[in-house]
Chain A
Amino acid sequence: MTDLWTMLWKEWKDLIFRDRRGGLLRHLLFIGILGIVLPWLVGLQWLELPAGAMLVVLYIPFLFIISFVGDAIAGERERHTLETLLASRMPDRVILLGKVIATVGYAWGMAVAGLLLGVVWANLLNGNGGWMFYHPFDLLLEWLALILVVILLAASTGVLISLRVATVRQAQQTLQIGTLVLVIAALLVLRALPENFIASLSYSQIMLIAIAVIATLDAILLGLALESFQRSRLILS
């Protein structure tokens, strides 16, 4: 656990200070879009978690992940810091998990911060005296879980790609193409399903199925990434 905290400490310092002023502004911009612009556009209905608006909430941390996770291994390799880290006592799995958890935690934290700011902003803009929170509450939890598994999917894929390419640019390009393929595949699967099957499902059931499917993919990809992360292979690459 101490090792994991050490990796998280380093990764978060890295994420925040990589591009000092610009980096902080970009992160605040993401939170601002989630917590101020979207609730302002949607109005009080924002608190009912409409699917269209929530997909945008999902997209922003996802965008953050695909911009940063490619840097995880390929970036350290490009900046020549990976070899020194591998020569230390830090266990392989902790290096990899530290990178995944730090990126996912940061992006998910950003989404949660945006949603919390959104409650305040929606109430301030449109409230009629009484204080309202997201409802139904179960649906909020399902969206938070869906955001988490989706960004974990992006992070696991990103780390896996980052392990196999030489540069950050290559990792980002491959990840963008991968995202496109994944979205098209998801649309094709949805089209292949019988229409009355989808119509028979509630909003919440669709969410739970999506969470379960993506969580399974997460486990597979994370397992593959852990399996691929071997010191000797990384040193040779």
Chain B
Amino acid sequence: MSRSIIRAEHLSRSFGAVKAIDDLSLDVPAGIVFGFLGPNGAGKTTTIHLLLGLLEPTAGRASVLGFDTRTQADEIRARTGALLEFAGLYEHMSAEDNLDFYGRIYHMPAADRRVRRKELLTHLDLWDRRKDQVGKWSRGMKQKLAVARALFHHPCLIFLDEPTAGFDPLAATALHNDLASLVAREGVTVFLTTHNLTEAEKLCAQVGVIRQGKLLIVGNPDELRLREGSPQAEIVGQGFNEQTLALLRARPEVAHAELQGDHLTIELRVESRIAPLVSLIVQSGAEIEEVRRGKASLEDVFLTLMGEEDK
């Protein structure tokens, strides 16, 4: 097991009567992309602010890279990079100058800054536009530059706060690909907050789900799917009817069966054989064209967790 790069112990933060973070305990190992999932207002951004030492906890403690967030926040900020809620770029300055400013902040020598600028901007396909004022750029390009800025000074940990929020699927996929290749190349640990479950599924080795300031669950996406999601079967065919559904629902291993057009979705209580169910459907007079076994997606897990909390 790798060492923890982030450790929170019973961390809480209140704003007046509102508990933004409530008794959060968390260990993030080094060298992975950790996804921090939650709906809007769950406390994701506040957690980042606490971990960067920008806010003080009202109770509990946290350490990042071995430094206490309350007393050694300067050390943390000197060794990490951040892309927060907004890209935070100086829009009338060029891409080069934006990167150069942050390189200077981290005391990088001029020659290193020059090399790093070329390396990152080339990797992100922004090199030809390096002298443009970034205010004239598209949102996707700005966000890529902001990622480059967060990585510019070779931090060992970066915080990314909803980097693809508000992006169309194409732009989001492009940024996911860039992020994945950069993270792999740089060997950096990433603390990624998101409410985009596809993003988390694609990028994260471990995820934590937070709601109303409480951490509900932590694990790798596969574990969570097994732990929280039910196995499923999807059957495509013809002749499905209410009688087919009734027969399926009567079986002990079937938790739920649903019909949409020519698609029959069966949610199983436990991992069990699908063949007896297929025979049952055929006996009811339906014709089967395709049978697919599947696991619950991270989205299903997330919705299940949110649903349980609502109850």
Contact = CB atoms under 8 A, between A and B. Distances in A.
Contacts of A82: 88
A18 B90 CA distance: 9
Contact of A2 (B91, B97, B107, B146): B107
A80 B55 contact: no
Contacts of B149: 84
A87 B84 contact: yes
Question: Interface range on chain B: under 10, 10 to 19, 20 to 34, or 35 or more?
Answer: 20 to 34
A112 B77 CA distance: 39
B102 interface: yes
B288 interface: no
Contact of B49 (A18, A89, A90, A235): A235
B286 to A, nearest CB: 57
Interface in A145-177: none
- Mostly, the A contact residues are helix
Question: Interface range on chain A: under 10, 10 to 19, 20 to 34, or 35 or more?
Answer: 20 to 34
A17 interface: yes
Contact of A81 (B49, B85, B89, B159): B89
B82 A87 contact: yes
B88 A89 contact: no
Interface hub of A3, A84, A85, A232 (most chain B Cβ within 10 A) = A84
B105 A232 contact: no
Nearest to B49: A235
A86 B105 contact: no
Interface in B67-117: 74, 77-78, 82-93, 97, 101-102, 104-107
A83 B84 contact: yes
B299 to A, nearest CB: 30
Interface hub of A9, A87, A232 (most chain B Cβ within 10 A) = A87
A81 B106 contact: no
Interface hub of B15, B55, B93, B105 (most chain A Cβ within 10 A) = B105
A116 to B, nearest CB: 29
A87 B45 CA distance: 12
Given A87-B54, A235-B49, A9 B104 contact: yes
B92 A87 contact: no
A232 B54 contact: yes
Contacts of B87: 80, 84
B69 to A, nearest CB: 12
Interface string B49-69: 100111110000000000000
Nearest to A10: B101
Contacts of A13: 90, 93, 97
A235 B54 contact: yes
Nearest to A86: B54
A27 interface: no
Contacts of A6: 101, 104-105
A89 B74 CA distance: 6
B86 A14 contact: no
A23 B97 CA distance: 19
A88 interface: yes
Interface of B: 15, 49, 52-56, 74, 77-78, 82-93, 97, 101-102, 104-107, 133, 146, 149, 159
Interface of A: 2-3, 6, 9-10, 13-14, 17-20, 79-91, 231-232, 235-236
Given A81-B89, A84-B87, 20 more contacts: A2-B104, A9-B101, A13-B90, A13-B93, A13-B97, A17-B133, A18-B92, A80-B85, A82-B88, A83-B88, A84-B83, A84-B84, A84-B86, A84-B146, A87-B52, A88-B82, A91-B74, A231-B54, A232-B55, A236-B55
